[in-house]
Structure 1
Amino acid sequence: MNRKVQEASTLFQSALLQEKYQDPEGAARTYQRVLQLDPRNKLAWYNLGVIAQRDGRTADARESYDKALKIDPKYASALYNEAILLKSSDTDRAVELLKRAIAATPRASTAHLQLGWILAQKHRADEAENEFRRAVAADPSLLSQVPEQFRDNVSPTPNSSQAGATG
């Protein structure tokens, strides 16, 4: 491993600790130093995006997520977070990003849930129901977050394994 990459890795670990100990500004500065050494570090770009998103700096967050996605177009976490940023302002782009996140990680329950919410808002009930069903199948604890009008159709039935059984 060359010296720059090794130094970037050490700095990255330091930035993670700074975040853990509630120093997002220090972490952001350290991630910037990581990127000076290793401009293709998708995790540093992603984490800068998370910090910016947390601080309400949506343009900076999008820019960081986009840079992470230029390095790895299938990076599901960056796809998901950018979709969340856009779900109220650019639903079509949010849908596209969530579909890409799901393609990269098919059992991404929260991506299915968010996609279901957007599709429901777009009055695409059948597609929304399918996404809610996938979300709950992957993580049954998400059922409470499914809109009420879809819950009966997406909830796992306790006796589904006994379907067709006679008593």
Structure 2
Amino acid sequence: MRRIWTGVGAALALAAGAVVWAVVTPSDPASNDTAFDNVNNDRLKTDALLESGLLLVRYQDIPNAKATFERVLTLDPKNKFAWYNLGVLAQNEGRRADARKAYDAALKTDSSYTSALFNKALLLKTSDPDEALRLLRRAVIVDPKASTAYFHIGETLAGKGQDKQAREAYRHAVELNASLRSQVPESFQESVDRSPAPNEDTEAAVNSETPDR
């Protein structure tokens, strides 16, 4: 199965089955005023380097893209975009420890950085499903329309045998993004094709830590 979560910026070439948010750049570009103090000059440099790194990714020049994002960090060691982009590159190269370190650094700067929460959750989905669920739930609190995060909540809950909560998460994912319907496992397809009953609470299913009885 090939699923790509698209975001702002250039998407990387992903291995089959990977779901990694795209490399991103800041959403608030630097001011166009002609006079800048030293801090703003550094901001301009970091933004320019981030854009350059994106272009290198588009041209599949990954070593130089990595070096460019690392240059950003010499100017701004807490730049969450640079850390996150390095995490994406590492994750797609299978360097899981490096990817986790990069996502952690991004989250240290911004604990509600949804992209980093999501990608870190994917790293831990198999080895530590409970922590992956915690991260995914944080992601959907920050972005309630994060359909793919809900999908992975469902997938992780299903893997833990919590089918009732998994059904709710799958259904909510499909309500937000109908294109995910075909990726819902067959055993859960019926649940995404019906409306929730009055006593069914999607938020409770997604946020509850209690296993099904």
TM-score w.r.t. the length of structure 1 is 0.91
Which of 73, 98, 106 is the matching residue for 1:60?
Answer: 98
Select 2:191's aligned residue among 153, 157, 160: 153
1:155 is displaced (CA, Å) by 2.1
The aligned counterpart of 1:101 is 139
Q: Pick one of 158, 165, 172 that aligns with 1:134.
A: 172
- In the alignment, what sits opposite 1:122? 160
Deviation at 1:139, TM superposition (A): 0.5
Describe the superposition over 1:6-47 as per-residue Cα deviations: whole angstroms up to 9, x where unpaired: 111111111111011101110110000001001121111100
CA RMSD, 1 decimal: 1.1
Contact 1:76 1:101 in 2 (8 A): yes
**Residue 82 of structure 2: which of 41, 44, 49 is its match?**
44
What letter is aligned with 2:116?
A: A
Match status 1:22 vs 2:54: no
Inter-partner Cα distance in structure 2 for 1:82 and 1:71: 15
Displacement of 1:76: 0.7
The one-letter code matched in structure 2 to 1:62 is: R
Q: Counterpart of 1:37 in structure 2: which amino acid?
A: L
Equivalent in the alignment of 1:160: none
Structure 1 residues not aligned, in runs of 5+: 158-167
8 Å Cα contact 1:119-1:125 kept in structure 2: yes
| Structure 2 residue corresponding to 1:77, chosen from 90, 102, 115 | 115
Q: Report the number of matched residues.
A: 157
Partners of 2:194 and 2:162 in 1: CA distance: 22
CA distance in 2, matches of 1:44, 1:156: 42
Structure 1 runs of 4+ aligned residues shifted over 2 Å read none
